[in-house]
Structure 1
Amino acid sequence: MNRINCEVEPIKSMNMKSIKLYTDTKALIFDLDGTLADTMPLHFEAWKKAAEVMGVEYSFEWLSACAGMPSSKIIEKLNKEYNHSIDPQEFSVIKEEFFAREMHKITEIKPVTDLVYKYHNQIPMAVGTGGKRNIAQETMEILGLDKYIPILVSADDVNNHKPEPETFLKCAELMGVDPKFCQVFEDGLLGIQAAETAGMMVTDVTPYY
């Protein structure tokens, strides 16, 4: 499997359509990376640099399909599928160090964050992410979203990550809302699958970029 260039352009939203809520929606759950925060280019670049340090080879398409999984889980998957023996925790630490250096570049994805501002104090909200808590918390603080969304469920808070539904079910539990009344906003296939398995309404935000 050959390593290829992983340059990803930041999102430049030109779509003026607003995202709608379903009639039955009583709570909102947001993915973070690629949904609220335009961080995916930074994550891919950090992955690229960590992979170079660790001698990991992968394709951009393969990595893109893993969006929503913690880095350590992605490495476990890579080891299994391609018979590598990379230490998942060591890789994650290196990748996070590279990502942390670029976090000042994070920007919001406005069609999605507009929902947060519009429904703040009207509808319960939570963030359900496959990222580590410290990174997710800092991302929200950089964007000022921590003032609007009080509940954060990260990779550190569950045992089974996306596409398993545990992250989103935990969000619903903390908000005190039946899962069937929760609307999830996601950009990744694994997250969309997790929301559907949880029995929640789900909106793919990518058409609104």
Structure 2
Amino acid sequence: MKLDIPAGPFQAYLFDCDGTIADSMPLHYVAWNQTLSEWNCEFPERTFYAWGGYPVVKIISLLNEQQGLAMPVDAVAERKEALYYEILHQLKAVPEVLEQIEEQHGRIPFAVVSGSTRKSVTASLETLNLLDKFDVLVCAGDYKNGKPDPEAFLMAAAKLGVPPEACLVFEDTEMGIQAATAAGMASVKILQPWERPGA
């Protein structure tokens, strides 16, 4: 499936990581489910995808609030990340995004803008042999306000030295698209696993 790329010329590409470059959302969901089942916490799949882009600690806090639980945020976050690393070898790239990376690499700079930790993003990109293709990584902990706030995308553009309006964003969540729009950037929506042909 080819991506519908808006007319350029763009001076930089900014990519979300999970669900955009890396088809990692199904693996993250397995890790979440296993972790949360230990606390009798429900996390419906649709909610998981709707909250894509939220940092791990925010997700645990929201689940605590919604379900009247008192899960220890840091311990649960660590457990979830550890389980994700255990199944990381199964990770694959999203083919149509990989195609864009291969086509444009070396022509314009790339950044990753993610709600995941730097460790998680680096591990995913290393597994896919793509880490060296990115000039800048902006991850959870680098910025104050997560998506849909434009802060992380604006930070990536500044680090690359490219004006926001000359950046094209690749994102799989509505929140990410909203953040790109708020940053004054054009964007391409990557389909969620169940939206893809043959899903």
TM beyond 0.5: yes
Structure 2: which 5+ runs fail to align?
none
Cα shift readout 1:147-187 (whole Å, capped 9, x = no counterpart): 21121111121111111111111110110011111110001
Residues 82 and 52 of structure 1: CA distance in aligned 2, closer, same or farther (over 3 Å): closer
User: How far apart in 2 are the matches of 1:24 and 1:72?
Assistant: 37
Identity %: 34
2: CA distance, partners of 1:129 / 1:33: 8
Alpha-carbon distance between aligned partners in 2 of 1:143 and 1:199, rounded to the nearest angstrom: 30
Residue 24 (structure 1) shift? 3.9
Measure the CA separation in 2 of the matches of 1:101 and 1:21: 38
CA distance in 2, matches of 1:197, 1:118: 27
Which whole-Å CA distance do the structure 2 matches of 1:36 and 1:58 have between them?
A: 24
Compute the displacement of 1:80 (Å): 2.9
Q: Which residue among 1, 7, 10 is the counterpart of 1:25?
A: 10
Pick from 87, 111, 134 the counterpart of residue 126 of structure 1. 111
Cα pair 2:145 2:151 within 8 Å, conserved: yes
In the alignment, residue 43 of structure 2 is paired with which amino acid? Y
Equivalent position of 2:131 in the other structure:
146
Counting only pairs closer than 5 Å after superposition, residues 68-87 of structure 1 correspond to structure 2 as: 68-87=53-72
Residues 51-97 of structure 1, C-alpha deviations (whole Å, 9 max, x = no match): 01122223222222101111111112223334332222111111011
The 8 Å contact of residues 22 and 183 in structure 1, kept in 2 or not, is answered as: no
TM-score by length of 2: 0.91
**8 Å contact from structure 1 (residues 29, 127) kept in 2:** yes
Post-superposition, which runs of at least 4 consecutive aligned residues in structure 1 deviate over 4 A?
A: none
Alignment of 1:163-182 (within 5 A): 163-182=148-167
Q: Deviations over 1:32-66 (max 9, x none)?
A: 11111110110000000000112222322222210
Q: Find the aligned partners of 1:124 and 1:19 in 2 and give their Cα distance.
A: 20
2:88 corresponds in structure 1 to 103
User: Is there any run of 5+ residues in structure 1 with no aligned partner, and where?
Assistant: 1-14
Query: Alpha carbons of 1:130 and 1:94: their partners in 2 closer, same or farther (altered >3 Å)?
Result: same
Do 1:30 and 1:186's aligned partners in 2 also have CA atoms closer than 8 Å? yes
Check the 8 A contact 2:88/2:124 in 1, yes or no: yes
Please give the root-mean-square deviation of Cα atoms over the aligned residues, in Å. 1.6
Q: Tell me the matched-pair count.
A: 194
Per-residue deviation at 1:19? 4.0
Match of 1:113 in 2: 98
Task: Give the secondary-structure state (helix, strand or coil) at the position aligned to 2:169.
Answer: strand
